[in-house]
Amino acid sequence: MASSTSATVLLSLTITAPYPKPTTCRFLLQPRNRYLNLSSSANFSAKALFSSYNSNSVPLTKELETNCNSLTLREICQDHVPDHVLGRMEELGYVMPTDVQREALPVLFSGNDCILHAQTGSGKTLTYLLLIYSVINPKRSAVQALIVVPTRELGMQVTKVARMLAAKPMDPEVEQKSYTVMALLDGGMLRRHKSWLKAEPPNIVVATIGSLSQMLEKQIFKLDSMRILVVDEVDFIFNSSKQVSSIRKLLTSYSSCNNRQTVFASASIPQHRRFLHDCIQQKWTKGDVVHVHVNPVKPMPSCLLHRFVICGRKEKHRLLLSLLQSDLPESGIIFVNEQSEKSKKAGKAPSTTLIIDFLKASYGGSLEIILLEDNMNFNSRAASLSEVRQGGGHLLVSTDIAARGIDLPETTDIYNFDLPKTAIDYLHRAGRTGRKPFSDKKCTVTNIILSEERFVLQRYENELMFNCEELILETLC
């Protein structure tokens, strides 16, 4: 199997844990130019191999360096993240790192501020949560990490992942004080949160900026014990007229804290150089902030297939039905633009309601038809999402409220019933599918457009560097 030189190297491998699937690795040794093939169902420590080569002063080839990218998440996080969190992480199925995790975690563990700029569904949430668990101390009753999110829905999701990672070990032998995570979100019970913050502050707070600002103004929440601030979907928050002044205020206050680390995350950071410059200029980050930009030439996941169908305004509902009947999606999201003020004033029903009514009357398939839109109350919105998460297949009819950050990994198809208003909106809507980092499964984004919208879609294609194929109407009707 290996030459004598290679065999020496083989002895330095460490078998650590069961590997998720059998793997074959091929290493090139230079200058002797011999190959070593490892077919193994065990997880070897690529780090050990790496250091063994280094100590032997054997020059590393590009190929070897590439193969050393096969470090597991545990290996990357070892010595930083507590062992029981790593155990939970693996139980939850996070074994190998995604690209953004591999690139960003070493930067984050070294204490740098960071802009996490990577495709939708690439695992940015786990990246910043692992940083948080590497820094905070559960024995200290003080808010040490704050994650700011744009919507209540995303806040609930992030809180859930944070709590799952921090769950107490099952093994009673392992003594571990558990981490506490508070969701301080719009529509929540602020009075209860106030008492909680005063009595025994949680270690981590996940907040929407509105609720957070109230607590900051009343000085119930203080930033002085904080070590890490994460702003998720940062471009959205900066672009929102309701949120921008509060986030700027927060960042300015936080800039005077000692020992701070700041992380901004999003799949889209328009004019990122300008943003980076502003961050340093305004002291929102330290001067050596790192921009981790994964896959900049491909801003959308490559497993997505983009299509469009041209039809008349009155044919859209029937066309949507034909598409659903021919595609047979496992689960889908139908995105609709928000109702215009003009249409509201004219007393017209919103498009979401019209689609729901139409589908309930004519769609005979097995998928659950569910509505999610901004003007529903918080309880109904939560009920819709929990219904979708129960599994069994969904057709979620939604406005852009579901376009940012929401993780429904079973979604196979996106239908843009209305074309999104900007390329960035397109990217985030499309990114609600193709959310299984290690899957090759193709997912589809279908745009139902009027002929005069073709050039707008073409503009999105140029901006986001993707190709949209035309589906011919006759084949569907």
Ligand X SMILES: Nc1ncnc2c1ncn2[C@@H]1O[C@H](COP(=O)(O)OP(=O)(O)OP(=O)(O)O)[C@@H](O)[C@H]1O
Q: Which residues bind ligand X (CB under 6 A)?
A: 73, 93-94, 97-98, 101, 120-126, 267, 405, 407, 409, 431, 435, 437
Give min distance, CB of 89 to ligand X, in A: 8
Please identify, using beta-carbon distances, which residue of 183 and 267 lies nearer to ligand X. 267
Strand 261-266 relative to strand 181-184, pairing: unpaired
Instruction: Please name the residues in contact with 304: beta carbons below 8 A apart, sequence gap of 6 or more.
Output: 430, 433, 434, 442, 443, 444, 445, 466
Q: Are 328 and 349 a contacting pair, CB within 8 Å?
A: no
The pair phi, psi for residue 79, each rounded to 5°, is 75, 0
Give min distance, CB of 151 to ligand X, in A: 11
Candidates 457, 445, 458; CA nearest to 304 is 445
Give min distance, CB of 418 to ligand X, in A: 20
Please identify, using beta-carbon distances, which residue of 138 and 409 lies nearer to ligand X. 409
Q: How far from each other are the two terminal CA atoms of the chain, in whole angstroms?
A: 59
Candidates 338, 406, 397; CA nearest to 371 is 397
Please identify, using beta-carbon distances, which residue of 94 and 415 lies nearer to ligand X. 94
Give the 3-state secondary structure of residue 29: strand
Q: Are 446 and 415 a contacting pair, CB within 8 Å?
A: yes
Please identify, using beta-carbon distances, which residue of 329 and 434 lies nearer to ligand X. 434
CB atoms near residue 19 (< 10 Å):
16
Burial class (CB in 10 A: 0-12, 13-18, 19+), 308: buried
Strand order in the sheet with 443-449: 368-372, 394-398, 332-335, 413-416, 443-449, 304-310, 468-470
Please identify, using beta-carbon distances, which residue of 197 and 408 lies nearer to ligand X. 408
Please identify, using beta-carbon distances, which residue of 28 and 464 lies nearer to ligand X. 464
Give min distance, CB of 360 to ligand X, in A: 29
Give min distance, CB of 34 to ligand X, in A: 33
Please identify, using beta-carbon distances, which residue of 126 and 321 lies nearer to ligand X. 126
Give min distance, CB of 256 to ligand X, in A: 29
Give min distance, CB of 264 to ligand X, in A: 12
